[in-house]
Every structure is written in C-alpha cells, then in structure tokens.
Amino acid sequence: MFQPNDCSRNESTMSFKVAAIQMVSTPDVRENLDAAGALIGQAAEEGATLVALPEYFCLMGRKDTDKVAAREMEGDGPIQAFLAQQARQHGIYVVGGTLPLECPDPGRVYNTTFVYGPDGGQIARYDKIHLFNFQRGTESFDEATSIKPGATPRVFDAPIGKIGLSVCYDLRFPELYRAFGDVSLILVPAAFTYTTGKAHWELLLRARAVENQCYVLAPAQGGVHPTGRRTWGHSMLIDPWGEIVAQLPEGPGVVAGNIDADRLREVRTALPALRHRVM
C-alpha cells in the first residue's frame, strides 16, 4: 500500500525552498513594509527561493475606504517599489500578498497580487476574482463595496514548474484551481477571519492540495490587529498528499519547506487522478 511519507531521497531530487510570511498588519503602510522586509530577509537567510506575503500585508485599514486611499497605479508606488527591491536585493521570487491597485471605478480598487523575479522585474499579476461576503452576529464583511473583482486565472513559470495564483476567498471555488491545469504549487495569500478560518481554512487548503495533486503554500494574517479585527493565521505548506509540512498558528513569523519534484511524481504515479479526469 502506498505510504505518503515513505519517499526515498537522492542527489537527483529537485527541490525548491519556499516560505510563507505570516503577519499581523496595521493601518500604517510604512510600519507594515518594515515588518515584511525583516521577515523576507529572515526567509531568504534560511534559504528560501520564493517568499510569499499574506493578503493585505501592506495595510489592514480601519475602514474599507482606507485601501482606496492607498491605491497605486501599476508599475508605480512605494508598495510595488518595496516588493521589487526585496526580490532584487535577495535574488529571490517575491509574491506580494495583495495590494490595492487602481481600477476603472474611482471608489474601488483591484485586490492585486504581483510576483517579482530574482532580478526585481514583475513577472505576473493576478486580481482577486471572488469577493468575500459574510454576515453573522456582529461580524459583517462585503468586499464588493471597495474592491472590483478580477476575471482571469493566472499561472506563472518558476524553476520547479508552473505556479497558480489565488487569494483568500478564492479557496472556496475549486473550479478556479482546475483552470490552472498542471501546476506544482498553488499560492493562497489570505486574511481569513477567525470564525471562518477556524471552521474551514485547513480543510479547504488540504482539499485543494489533494484534488490538484500539488503543493499549497498559504501565507496568512494571524492575530489581533490594532483595528480590533482578529484573523485566523495558521499559515502553512501542504504537500500533494494533503500532509501539512509546516505551519504557524498565530503571530508574525516564517513557515518554510521544500517543493520536491520527486514527491510530486511519487503521488501522481501512485494515484494518477489527474489523468483520470473526464470533465
């Protein structure tokens, strides 16, 4: 019987170290960039080749309009300059969580992930497609009031293979992940609420890893923010068998592990579900 953790290693194994940054971001952009820079530096020192930040890493505002006031134009602004500089300085891939990007509606923004290569150049952009809406008791969220949804799934190439981009609430829509095709890694930067995260975060992340037979890296906001909002945290790396490789329950920090090509082949050979799809 196939044993998910019985994987032989040799010198031909190709691995690619990745890291998820967990933050407890504030309403102060400069403060958040400084905190993110320190954690990216830590991850790079520990050997990460790709470092991913959480959703809203740059700003957890006191009200929805804060993100609109902080919006940037594509290719111009301090948040994008920071991300490009970090990638170039450390010679790594940096996945910039999300930042507020200008959109055609002046009262809203795109919630955008930018990816920067080791030379600091932008190599991918994804605008969050699915917008969170939740009401229960005193909790009320409606992202559509300040965010315009994107429309197109995005995948980019890295040394370990193709990597699919998604953000937070996207996690509940498996058809988005099927649209990626064959990927080695799925990224899910998030700011899950404590309520929904406690109920569904790990369950959904492991499901996406198992059904797509790939790694999932999920950098999250995790803790009590100055605004009083509490996010679930539990940033984690999950392997293609659905096993949690590493996680951090709460508070700022780094979660790291290897994307292993042999592990991907092992799982897909033992259980070739991707080849068995008929729809």
pTM of the model: 0.94
Alpha-carbon gap, residue 3 to 201, rounded angstroms = 25
Residues 6+ positions from 94 with CB-CB distance below 8 Å: 40, 50, 51, 52, 53, 83, 84, 86, 87, 115, 116
pLDDT of 242: 98
pLDDT of 103: 97
pLDDT of 9: 35
CA distances, 124 to each of 62, 105, 187 (Å): 29, 23, 13
pLDDT of 5: 34
Residue 266 falls in the annotated catalytic set: no
pLDDT of 148: 98
Catalytic residue among 58, 67, 72, 128: 128
pLDDT of 246: 98
Residue 55 falls in the annotated catalytic set: yes
Quick one: tokens of 237? 């790396």
Closest CA to 111 of 146, 87, 79, 77: 146
Contact of 105 with 127, CB cutoff 8 Å: no
Give the burial string for 230-244 (b: 16+ CB within 10 Å, else e): bbbbbbbbbbbbbeb
Catalytic residue among 72, 168, 214, 250: 168
pLDDT of 135: 85
Residue by residue, pLDDT tens for the chain (279 residues) are 333 333 333 333 477 999 999 999 999 999 999 999 999 999 999 999 999 999 999 999 999 889 999 999 999 999 999 999 999 999 999 999 999 999 999 999 999 999 999 999 999 999 999 999 988 888 878 899 999 999 999 999 999 999 999 999 999 999 999 999 999 999 999 999 999 999 999 999 999 999 999 999 999 999 999 999 999 999 999 999 999 999 999 999 999 999 999 999 999 999 999 999 998
Residue 58 falls in the annotated catalytic set: no
pLDDT of 138: 80
Positive or negative torsion for Cα 224, 230, 232, 233: negative
pLDDT of 15: 76
pLDDT of 140: 78
Alpha-carbon gap, residue 50 to 43, rounded angstroms = 9
Cβ neighbours, 10 Å, residue 17: 18
pLDDT of 108: 98
Amino acid at 172: R
Q: Which domains are assigned to the chain?
A: 15-271 (3.60.110.10)
pLDDT of 136: 87
pLDDT of 64: 86
